[in-house]
Amino acid sequence: MPFGTTVLGVEVTVRGVDLTQDGRIVALCFRGRVRQEIGILELPMPTPAPDGAEWIEAYRHWTG
């Protein structure tokens, strides 16, 4: 991290991950000074995938 991706047609930088109070894993996405939390299961991955993205794919597989 960080890595870039596109969310709903907008380029963002993923700077980290967090665990919400309700137990969801979210990516901390930034565009300039604007921050948005995107559920890790909904986060579109860039091609090629960044280093360390294997755990996201493993989590997606585990959650079904």
Residue 26: predicted pLDDT: 97
Q: Residue 48 CB: number of other CB atoms within 10 A?
A: 7
Query: 1 falls in which pLDDT band (50, 70, 90)?
Result: confident
Nearest of 49, 3, 54, 55 to residue 25 by alpha carbon: 55
Calculate the alpha carbon distances from 48 to 31, 33, 34, 39, 64 in Å: 21, 26, 25, 20, 23
**pLDDT tens column, 12-35:** 999 999 999 999 999 999 999 999
Which residues on neighbouring strands pair with residue 34, listed in sequence order?
Answer: 31
Alpha helices in the chain (DSSP H): 54-63
- Give 64's pLDDT tier (boundaries 50, 70, 90): confident
Percent of the chain topping pLDDT 90? 91
